[in-house]
Amino acid sequence: MAKVIPEGWRELSALGAVQRELQTLASLADGLPDNYTVYHGVHWTRIQQGFALVGEIDFAIVSPAGKLLLIEQKSGFLNETPEGLVKVYAAKEKRVAVQMGRSVDALHHRLRLFCPEGQFFVDSLLYCPDYTVKQPGSAGIDPERIVDAKRREFLVPIIKSILPASDAVNPQVARLHRFLSDQLNLVPEVHAVVGQAKILYTRLSGAWRSGRVRLNASRFVCG
């Protein structure tokens, strides 16, 4: 069973998208070996052109070798447009590839500031458990990094194939964990997020400096 940070998530109850995330978290915790770590709900803030941009990485998984996989979960229905996959929130459309690129870029930037001498493998994956992507080639995301409804039962094996436990261990793995845990404040969200649920989340201490957004980046080595 994988280690999950923050703890106490099995005692939570929720509805809607948050419930779906907790179901995914249970699948990851029970399906991945105990030498993998799953960080859930990594929230980030950064300043760009004088404005605060807020985002979230649903799951950050660290392999025994110190490789990092960021998972963006999109529950429910998605729209397939000429500009790629789109998720509608309260009548506002958001391009999934842009959201993922922004989150990966922001984490990449912060990690380089925290450990400028290190080199880290960072990959990203879209998980949409309720929707089957009809045209993955035009989604704006590498099709190999999309796990949709027809492939959801293979989520854990796909993660393990991206993050093999047999890889050589990164000497900076301890610093990566410190960045994802000690560098973040784990605080309880005291107001109801969905269905009056009490949610635990992580919030970055301080603002992230701005960085260029990679709209279609799915894999890179940073350092």
Give the model's pLDDT for residue 148: 97
| Three-class DSSP category at 171 | coil
Tell me the residue type at 77: F
Higher per-residue confidence, 12 vs 133 = 133
Distance CA 154, CA 174 (A): 29
Point out which residues pair with 74 in neighbouring strands: none
pLDDT tens string 141-154: 999 999 999 999 99
Helix (H) or strand (E) holding 208: strand 208-209
Chain CA centroid to CA 63, Å? 14
Give the model's pLDDT for residue 189: 38
Higher per-residue confidence, 57 vs 132 = 132
Higher per-residue confidence, 176 vs 5 = 176
Helix (H) or strand (E) holding 19: helix 16-31
Question: How many other C-beta atoms lie within 10 A of the C-beta of residue 85?
Answer: 26
User: Helices 173-180 and 96-114, interaxial angle, to 10°?
Assistant: 120
pTM of the predicted model, to two decimals?
A: 0.77
